[in-house]
Amino acid sequence: MIKEGAPSKHFFLWMLIIIGVLSIIVVFPFLTSLVGGAVLAYIFYPVYKVIQRNVKNRTASALIVSVFIVLLITIPTIFLLNTLTKETHYMYMRAKQQVSMGRIIGEKCIENTVLCKSINDINELMKNEEVREYSIGLLNKVLQFITQKISSVILTLPKILIHVLIAIFTAYYLFKDGEMLIHRMSKAIPLKVHHQEQIIQQFADVTYAVIYGSIIVALIQGTLGSFGFWLFGIRSFIWWGVVMSFFALIPFIGTWVVWFPASAFLVVAGYLQGETEMIWRGIGLFIFGLFIISTIDNFLKPVIVAGKARVHPLLILVGVLGGLFTMGLIGLIVGPLLLALFVTLLEIYEKERKHHFEEPEPDILGHKNHSRR
């Protein structure tokens, strides 16, 4: 009888590594889709559990939730793309018309104020033929850039559909077999049980905090921003709502970079054109933006994320922007998650080095701390 010795163990280990690397190469093109499916499964898992209690069958429950996700993604996306296309075209034509007429805002201002003089100077500058041609050329370049992006999206539509299908199927099988998969992984991972539990709990808490405490709140702020723009008579309010949702994800910036210039524009335009009603609309938008759009997150986040992981603003900032540039839209979620998971692993490593805690802490920047001796 041949006993299993070191050579056979080494052979198996190398085979495992080689096959693992090749598997990663095969899966890598669809990595973002798999991660996106896992995120969808996490978000809609409570819905799946509710349906399963009534349907009883796991396969049928997973199928129902997956179809619901498809409808929830496709219907708003089609409506949003259609609206954004129309509003972008309107904004381009409006800007081109203003430039062609040789003025940016309002009629000639006759009052002897700094604001009037500045606007008149800008309008006079726009009457210059070279300036107008340059401005129109710049607008055409912007339109060309947007058109190229839309064309590239249309050309890659089959690829996008494949990624979406993989994400949906991933979510479906995680609904159906997710608990079993986690149980098997917990046996295979060479970590202590309490460390596995810490990682899973931290992953769940950070996912909850990022998705509900950042993304959902940002969408709510964008929706309120769209409503405010519609309420105070600003065109393309859906387009600006999408922009506000994006800026709401970025700490220390927020939605004010959109609604504040818009309110200032209404006030200035109303003043130059002698329209008191437009001035009051600008003031109303400013008050709405200050006390509703930019303040709602201070009330929602503590309620939504209560007791969950507090994600550091710097982690959110770097994670959101870095994830967006490297992975696309799914990076808005995956970026902060990866950084938070890395911090959790560092904490576990630090706790495992017990002898390190028994030593005096180093004198860093002239400050000693012996509280952990």
Average per-residue pLDDT for the chain: 77
Tally Cβ neighbours within 10 Å of residue 245. Answer: 21
281 dihedral zone (left: phi>0; alpha: psi -120 to 50; beta): alpha
Q: By the 8 A CB rule, do 358 and 373 touch?
A: yes
% the chain with pLDDT above 90: 9
Q: By the 8 A CB rule, do 218 and 294 touch?
A: no
Whether pLDDT at 297 is above 70: yes
Whether pLDDT at 364 is above 50: no
Whether pLDDT at 287 is above 90: yes
**What is the pLDDT at residue 362?**
47
Whether pLDDT at 373 is above 50: no
Whether pLDDT at 20 is above 60: yes
Residue 349 CA to residue 354 CA, distance in Å, equals: 10
Average pLDDT over residues 221-229: 92
**What is the pLDDT at residue 72?**
86
Average pLDDT over residues 149-173: 81
Helix, strand, coil shares of the chain, percent, nearest 5, are: 80, 0, 15
pLDDT tens for residues 177-191? 887 887 777 776 766
Query: Which of 77-91, 107-121, 192-206, 274-288 shows the lowest mean pLDDT across its residues?
Result: 107-121
Q: Which of 251, 254, 252 is nearest to 289 (CA)?
A: 254
Measured between alpha carbons, how far is residue 147 from residues 27, 88, 221, 255 in Å? 32, 11, 28, 27
Q: List the Cα angle 150/155/156 in 5-degree steps.
A: 95
**What is the pLDDT at residue 285?**
92
Whether pLDDT at 161 is above 90: no
Q: By the 8 A CB rule, do 171 and 69 touch?
A: yes
Cα 204 from chain centroid (whole Å): 18
* This prediction's pTM: 0.65
Q: By the 8 A CB rule, do 240 and 229 touch?
A: yes
**What is the pLDDT at residue 363?**
47
Q: Domain spans of the chain?
A: 31-177, 189-348
Tally Cβ neighbours within 10 Å of residue 227. Answer: 15
pLDDT tens for residues 38-49? 888 888 888 898
E-strand ranges in the chain read none
- Let me know how long the chain is: 373
What letters, b where the CB count within 10 A reaches 16 and e where it falls short, cover 113-144? eeebeebbeebeebeeeeebeebeeebeeebe
Cα 50 from chain centroid (whole Å): 27
Average pLDDT over residues 202-222: 78
**What is the pLDDT at residue 284?**
93
Q: Which of 296, 295, 257, 265 is nearest to 283 (CA)?
A: 265
**What is the pLDDT at residue 359?**
47
Residue 318 CA to residue 312 CA, distance in Å, equals: 10
Measured between alpha carbons, how far is residue 128 from residues 96, 101, 105, 301, 364 in Å? 15, 11, 16, 51, 62
Residue 291 CA to residue 177 CA, distance in Å, equals: 46
Residue 28 CA to residue 30 CA, distance in Å, equals: 5
**What is the pLDDT at residue 333?**
75
**What is the pLDDT at residue 352?**
67
Whether pLDDT at 29 is above 90: no
Whether pLDDT at 214 is above 80: no
Query: Which of 54-58, 252-256, 341-345 shows the lowest mean pLDDT across its residues?
Result: 341-345
Q: By the 8 A CB rule, do 285 and 263 touch?
A: yes
Average pLDDT over residues 280-290: 92
Please list, in sequence order, all residues whose beta carbon lies within 8 angstroms of the beta carbon of residue 89, skipping any fewer than 6 positions away: none
Q: Give the residue, 108 or 315, on which the prediction is more confident.
A: 315
Average pLDDT over residues 234-254: 82
Q: Residue written as tokens 């700490």?
A: 251
**What is the pLDDT at residue 87?**
74
pLDDT tens for residues 74-126? 888 788 777 777 777 777 777 777 666 666 555 556 566 666 767 666 766 66
% the chain with pLDDT above 70: 77
